[in-house]
Amino acid sequence: ATQFSIGWSYLVSWIGLSFTLLSSIFFLASSLCIKRELKAIRRRHASGYGQRRSLGMEAYATLPADGGL
């Protein structure tokens, strides 16, 4: 009869593969969290741009968007 045994390198390779899978899951989760944070920051930053400012608040040498004087 043939005797079959599992060597230490086989176990070490499975441990390495499981750590690789675990780290890829953590990287995916962290990228999703970072994207969510950046989207919230951009939303907060861009909230003031939707409002129309008066002519007194325009930058130097600019005209309104409709081109009137």
pLDDT level of residue 37 (50, 70, 90 thresholds): very high
Domain ranges of the chain: 31-61
For residues 34 and 40, what is the distance between their CA atoms, to the nearest angstrom? 10
Mean per-residue pLDDT of the chain: 82
pLDDT level of residue 6 (50, 70, 90 thresholds): confident
51-57: which pairs have CB atoms within 8 A and are 24 or more residues apart? none
